[in-house]
Amino acid sequence: MAYQLPPEGTYWGNVESVETDSIGKNETPCVSIIVEMTHRFAGDDVEADPLQGSMSGKIKCFLSEGAWPISEENLKSVGFNGDFEKPAIDTKYTTEGAWFICEHQEHNGKQYANWRFADWGGGKREVKPIAKDEARRLNALWKQSTKPAPAAPVTPAASTKSPKAAAPKDPPPPPSGENDVPAF
């Protein structure tokens, strides 16, 4: 039976094992994190749906010189013990579980499932707060644009029956070009 790619998406599961191996013709060293998936988030619901049977995935952290900076950051984020002879990660991933992403990639004309932890996302970026003067400018802009409209004068109703609502006005067409987009 031919290998069938799992659907791309977000999955829930547990880490089953962590191992080091060599991959490809060049025998590139790699830490492989073997994951057993139990649920898939369909995206159209609030909860993940249980899978019909088991599905495993392999997260590969290549250890070549070029891949080292990203792999090092990713391995640190999951509590890698730093021992390439007896690799392990934080036990919360084996006992509590985690979210994983499956994406399809092509390599040498073949499609592959590329698995990663959902919170990796290509590296973390440093959060730098905006300058105080910029924050004050944005605060003023926000207050100006969200001022409540003046209240309409209240007039007593002539009868206890509520009048029929007027037919709604047609909405304006969506912007068709950049000149139609309001400037902020």
Distance CA 39, CA 54 (A): 9
Q: Which of 25-39, 76-90, 120-134 has the lowest mean pLDDT?
A: 120-134
- The parent domain of residue 91 ranges over 9-117
The mean predicted confidence, pLDDT, of the chain is 78
Confidence category of residue 45, pLDDT binned at 50, 70, 90: low
Q: Provide the pLDDT for residue 143.
A: 80
> How many other C-beta atoms lie within 10 A of the C-beta of residue 154?
6
Q: Could you give the percent of the chain with pLDDT greater than 70?
A: 72
148 found inside a domain: no
Q: Is residue 136 part of a domain?
A: no
Q: Which residues pair with 80 in a beta bridge?
A: none
In a domain, 171, yes or no: no
Q: Which of 10-19, 28-37, 164-173 is predicted least confidently?
A: 164-173
**Total domain count, the chain:** 1
Is 25 among the domain residues? yes
- Please enumerate, as own/partner, the contacts of 131-136 that have beta carbons within 8 Å and a separation of 24 or more: none
User: Given strand 98-107, what is the order of strands in its sheet?
Assistant: 49-62, 28-41, 9-23, 98-107, 110-117
Rounded to an integer, what distance in angstroms lies between the CA atom of residue 90 and that of residue 33?
12
Read out DSSP for 116-182? EETTTTT------PPPHHHHHHHHHHHHHHTPPPPPPPP---SSSSPPPPPPPPPPPPPP-SGGGSP
Q: What HEC string does 24-59 produce?
A: CCCCEEEEEEEEEEEEEECCCCCCCEEEEEEEEEEE
Nearest to residue 37, comparing CAs of 58, 21, 18, 19? 58
Q: Would you put residue 155 in left (φ > 0), alpha (ψ -120 to 50) or beta?
A: beta
Whether 151 is covered by a domain: the verdict is no
Strand pairing category for 98-107 and 110-117? antiparallel
Residue 72 identity (one-letter amino acid): E
User: Residue 150: inside a domain, yes or no?
Assistant: no
How high is the pLDDT of residue 31? 96
Q: What is the pLDDT of residues 129-172, one digit of tens each?
A: 777 887 787 778 778 877 776 666 666 655 444 444 343 333 33
What is the predicted pLDDT for the residue at 182? 38
Average pLDDT over residues 92-119: 90
- Tell me which of 149 and 8 has the higher pLDDT: 8
Stretch among 7-21, 82-96, 125-139, 169-183 having the lowest mean pLDDT: 169-183
Assigned domain for 180 exists: no
Whether the pLDDT of residue 181 is over 70: the answer is no
